[in-house]
Amino acid sequence: MNTMEINKIVAGVICAVLLVVVVGKVGSALVSPEELEAPVYPFSEDVMAGANAPAAAPAEPAGPEPILAMLASADMGEGEKVFKKCASCHDVEKGGPNKTGPNLYGIVGAAFAHKDDFSYSDGMANHGGTWGFEELNEFLYKPRDYIDGTKMSFGGLKKAEDRAAVIAWLNTKSDNPVALPDPAAVEAAQAAEEAVDEAAEAVEETVDDAAAAVEGAVEEAGDAVDAATAQ
């Protein structure tokens, strides 16, 4: 091997080393890691706990348990018994008098504040609409919550069976009893409602996840652009 060839090899090695050094310098000049003052993603025990916690349990449905499906099989004797709690204030016979409360003959399906000769509270008088099974269910559950400033000083019937029984019985005290809902139809309607709620929740979750992913990607892209333009 002559000196010329050795020189070429040495020059080649030097060039290779130079190239590595230059590329390294240029590379780190282009993308220099920068210490962030604060983490981009706030990290704390709380956040992690929150992230892993199951979605807040669905709030207890405010208000009374539904009774529609119970009406058809309600016990009339039981309804008459429950009405004893109302009888001190309400007469329920046709043409009977108003007492502390209005006469309730034909109340199911009647208009709110159905008696012209009774002096109702403003809340009741101005409510509008008719007393269907569901309205009565809500009113009898907690009268004061349902009608603002109602004159009916009665705590309410907390048991769904009691409300169903007295409402079904009141319905018989009428020239035109309202047809009781078919329990099978009520259950089908409830099942359909639940399915719709579940589907809506699933859609919401998917949208939330997608939004979080997009947000993360945008943030990362922004950081990369910042890093590239900072040079």
- Contact residues for ligand HEC, defined by CB under 6 A: 85-86, 88-90, 100-102, 104, 107, 112-115, 120-121, 123-124, 131, 136, 140, 147, 150-154, 157, 166
Yes or no: say if 182 and 69 are a contact pair by the CB < 8 Å rule. Answer: no
- Extract the tokens encoding 70: 């119970």
Based on CB atoms, which residue is closest to ligand HEC, 70 or 166?
166
> In terms of C-beta distances under 8 Å and separation of at least 24 residues, what long-range contacts does 128-135 make, across chains too?
131/107, 132/108, 132/178, 133/67, 133/68, 133/71, 133/108, 133/167, 133/178, 133/181, 134/66, 134/68
| Of residues 33 and 155, the one with the C-beta less far from ligand HEC | 155
CB of 67 vs ligand HEC, minimal distance in Å: 13
Secondary structure (DSSP) of 20-52: HHHHHHHHHHHS-----SS-SS---HHHHHHHH
What is the closest distance, in whole angstroms, from the C-beta atom of residue 182 to ligand HEC in the complex? 24
Minimum gap (Å) between residue 93 Cβ and ligand HEC? 14
Least distance from ligand HEC to the Cβ atom of residue 72, Å: 19
Pair 116, 142: CB distance under 8 Å: no
* CB closer to ligand HEC, 142 vs 151: 151
CA of 71: how far to CAs of 35, 107, 134, 173, 197, in Å?
Answer: 69, 16, 11, 15, 25
Residue whose CB is less far from ligand HEC, 66 or 227: 66
Cβ 186 to ligand HEC shortest distance, Å: 21
Q: Nearer Cβ to ligand HEC, position 30 or 87? A: 87
Extract the tokens encoding 175: 């020239």
User: With respect to ligand HEC, which residue has the nearer C-beta, 66 or 123?
Assistant: 123
Q: How far is the CB of 45 from ligand HEC (least distance, A)?
A: 51
Which has the closest alpha carbon to 65: 179, 152, 188, 190?
A: 190
Q: For the chain, what is the radius of gyration of the CA atoms?
A: 38
